[in-house]
Amino acid sequence: LGEMTAGVAHEVRNPLGIISSTAELLQERLARYEPKNRLAQIIVEESNRLNEKVTEFLDFARPRSPNLRPCDLEATLNRGLELLAPEIDRLGIKVTREYQLDGQALMVDQDLLYQAFLNILLNAIQAMPLGGHLTVSIKPGPQGQGGEIRFQDDGEGIEPEALNKILNPFFTTKEKGSGLGLPIVKSIIEAHQGSLEISSAPETGTTITITLPALAL
């Protein structure tokens, strides 16, 4: 599946790159002669969006083989929050951080965990378009081993029927969603021999809990 997806992605991205670069040139020319014409800009935007979808398909199909290294989960989570800070501030979302690992490192693939955290944070932010409260917590796992990471928002929440399907590939309740964000998260966590739990209710919010074991090289 991974090889087939990579091949298809390559065949899509080649003409897509040509379309995008040509549209950018057209956009520059139209800006001089028809500044109100947004046709080229729309082509560029949709090309970029399609490229993002191709990237998501690749991420989902790619086999997960974590490159385990000592990682500060608190710093990794802070990195994601810093990246999204402008959107968090724009929406008026309050973020509470409850960190209890005190800088203790866990053996994980930092890049994969960062991707998983970012996907979850994006979902939480999108669930609070009118603002809200997001709590992110990290603490030692059961018997003090590994770690437990929890994301809790008071956003729109998820209907029970949708919650049962939320981890199915390509299932989405978003108009422009690919339905791969949480399945990718699930794949990453399972590659670390961890677990992912999601609880949610409409108008109440969503809580996502990740439990990671203490892995060794």
Which pLDDT band holds residue 14 (cuts at 50, 70, 90)? confident
Phi, psi (rounded to 5 degrees) for 70: -60, 130
pLDDT digits (tens, 9 = 90+) for 61-116: 666 688 899 999 999 999 999 999 999 999 999 999 999 988 788 999 999 999 99
Q: Are 134 and 102 in contact (CB under 8 A)?
A: no
What pLDDT was estimated at residue 176?
Answer: 66
- Note the Cα 93 to chain centre separation in Å: 18
Domain 69-212 CATH superfamily: Histidine kinase-like ATPase, C-terminal domain (3.30.565.10)
Phi, psi (rounded to 5 degrees) for 138: -135, 130
Q: State percent of the chain over pLDDT 90.
A: 51
What pLDDT was estimated at residue 52?
Answer: 76
pLDDT digits (tens, 9 = 90+) for 21-63: 888 888 888 888 887 778 888 888 888 877 777 777 777 666 6
Mean pLDDT of the chain: 86
Q: Which residue has the higher pLDDT, 145 or 202?
A: 202
Q: Are 152 and 207 in contact (CB under 8 A)?
A: yes
Pairing mode, if any, of strands 93-99 and 147-153? unpaired
What pLDDT was estimated at residue 143?
Answer: 79
At 183, the amino acid letter reads P
Phi, psi (rounded to 5 degrees) for 135: -110, 125
What pLDDT was estimated at residue 96?
Answer: 98
What pLDDT was estimated at residue 126?
Answer: 93
Burial class, 79, CB count within 10 angstroms (exposed 0-12 / middle 13-18 / buried 19+): middle
Residue 217 has pLDDT above 60, yes or no: no
What pLDDT was estimated at residue 177?
Answer: 67
Residue 7 has pLDDT above 70, yes or no: no
Which pLDDT band holds residue 9 (cuts at 50, 70, 90)? low
> Domain coordinates of the chain in residue numbers?
2-61, 69-212
What pLDDT was estimated at residue 63?
Answer: 63
Q: How far is CA 88 from CA 8, 113, 125, 149, 203, in A?
A: 35, 21, 7, 20, 20
Which pLDDT band holds residue 170 (cuts at 50, 70, 90)? confident
Instruction: Please state, in angstroms and rounded to a whole number, the distance separating the CA atoms of residues 115 and 185.
Output: 8
Residues in the chain: 217
Q: Are 101 and 136 in contact (CB under 8 A)?
A: no
